């Protein structure tokens, strides 16, 4: 009877030693993904918030009103802000959507056809765009933050700042886990994997076995919740997506990925200890079983 109990305990210990690392993997994956996600989200949000606050200060300056000074002089003033705060493009926009520079008396371009400018004219609420191609070369990726002058864009115009994607990529690349930035349509806007740019979260999850929920439920959670995790099987490898919304009504979401393959190197000591423990438990079970057989034979 004692040997039978001992064998059961050996099997129980082996199962616990096997499940322990599996649970540890899950916790470590989730922790690694969430840590990278929170770090990137905080930096991007701070960058966005500081840009918004600066533009709100500028938009309240009396010289930004249409009748105060010519737009060319407004552009000269704004160039000082560019130099002081490290921006490459803070620009004034007149009530017709014209954009001005210090070296041109007339508008150098017009933004009136842009969706975010039209929204600004109507709502007077700050606008934050998804990434888009800009610049004369047509290859520069940036984001635009626009604010109404004195709270009334239609009558007073606007001021905007460009945030270059290189700054976002630097933040994302500095994270230990693979991290990307999603836009308003859950499309990949920034990251170090150029093949992923433009791909939606739905396309990334399509065809994969999502654990504990449907694809539609996972996509809805990313859209409606401020943070969370999604578990799925990438082939046979359990993988965790952690997401955090950037906020400020940007519609942006930071997404970090961690799989068992990513963290296995960090848990090798625990795996080794568990493997040795499992081998010892199985060996003890076999020895106890063999020793029980002769005893049973003698009893007969």
Residues 241-254 have pLDDT tens digits of 999 999 899 999 99
Q: Are residues 160 and 185 in the same domain?
A: no
- Max Cα-Cα span within the chain: 112
Q: Are residues 40 and 59 in the same domain?
A: no
Range of the domain at 120: 49-164
Q: In whole angstroms, what is the distance from residue 250 CA to residue 52 CA?
A: 11
- Structure letter (DSSP) for residue 65: S
Q: Are residues 152 and 104 in the same domain?
A: yes
- Identify the residue with better confidence: 67 or 150: 150
- Residues 129-172 have pLDDT tens digits of 999 887 656 678 889 999 999 999 999 999 999 999 989 999 99
Q: What is the CATH number of the domain that holds 75?
A: 3.30.450.20
Confirm whether 244 is domain-assigned: yes
- Where is the domain boundary, 145, 164, 183? 164
The gap from C-alpha 16 to its chain's centroid, in whole angstroms, comes to 35
pLDDT of residue 274: 53
Q: Are residues 126 and 211 in the same domain?
A: no
Q: What is the mean pLDDT of residues 54-75?
A: 91
Confirm whether 69 is domain-assigned: yes
Q: What is the mean pLDDT of residues 181-204?
A: 89
pLDDT of residue 295: 47
- Residues 24-51 have pLDDT tens digits of 567 777 888 999 999 999 999 999 999 9
pLDDT-wise least confident of 3-12, 111-120, 131-140: 3-12
Average pLDDT, the chain: 82
Q: Are residues 116 and 193 in the same domain?
A: no
Q: Are residues 17 and 159 in the same domain?
A: no
List all residues 6 or more positions away from 257 whose beta carbon is below 8 Å from its beta carbon. Answer: 33, 177, 178, 179, 239, 240, 241
Q: Are residues 42 and 53 in the same domain?
A: no
Query: Does the pTM of the predicted model rise above 0.95?
Result: no
Q: Are residues 262 and 157 in the same domain?
A: no
């Amino acid at each position: 009877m004692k040997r039978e109990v001992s064998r059961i305990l050996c099997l129980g210990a082996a199962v616990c030693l096997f499940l322990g690392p599996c649970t540890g993997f899950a916790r470590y994956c989730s922790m690694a993904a969430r840590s990278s996600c929170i770090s990137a989200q905080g930096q991007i949000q701070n960058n966005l918030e500081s840009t918004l606050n600066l533009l709100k200060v500028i938009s309240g300056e009396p010289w930004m009103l249409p009748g105060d000074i010519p737009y060319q002089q407004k552009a000269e003033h704004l160039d000082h802000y560019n130099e002081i705060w490290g921006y490459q493009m803070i620009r004034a926009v007149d009530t017709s959507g014209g954009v001005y520079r210090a070296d041109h008396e007339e508008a150098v371009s017009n933004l009136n056809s842009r969706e975010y400018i039209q929204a600004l004219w109507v709502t007077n609420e700050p606008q934050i765009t998804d990434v888009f191609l800009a610049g004369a070369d047509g290859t520069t990726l940036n984001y635009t933050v626009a604010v109404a002058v004195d709270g009334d864009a239609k009558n007073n115009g606007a001021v905007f700042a460009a945030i270059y994607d290189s700054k976002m990529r630097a933040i994302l690349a500095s994270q230990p886990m693979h991290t990307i930035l999603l836009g308003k349509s859950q499309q990949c806007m920034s990251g170090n994997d150029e093949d992923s740019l433009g791909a939606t979260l739905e396309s990334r999850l399509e065809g994969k076995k999502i654990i504990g929920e449907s694809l539609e439920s996972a996509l809805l959670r990313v859209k409606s919740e401020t943070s969370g995790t999604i578990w799925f099987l990438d082939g046979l490898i359990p993988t965790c997506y952690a997401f955090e919304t950037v906020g400020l009504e940007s519609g942006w979401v930071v997404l970090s990925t961690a799989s068992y393959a990513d963290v296995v190197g960090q848990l090798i000591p625990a795996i080794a200890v568990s493997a040795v423990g499992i081998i010892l438990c199985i060996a003890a079970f076999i020895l106890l079983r063999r020793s029980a057989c002769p005893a049973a034979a003698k009893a007969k």
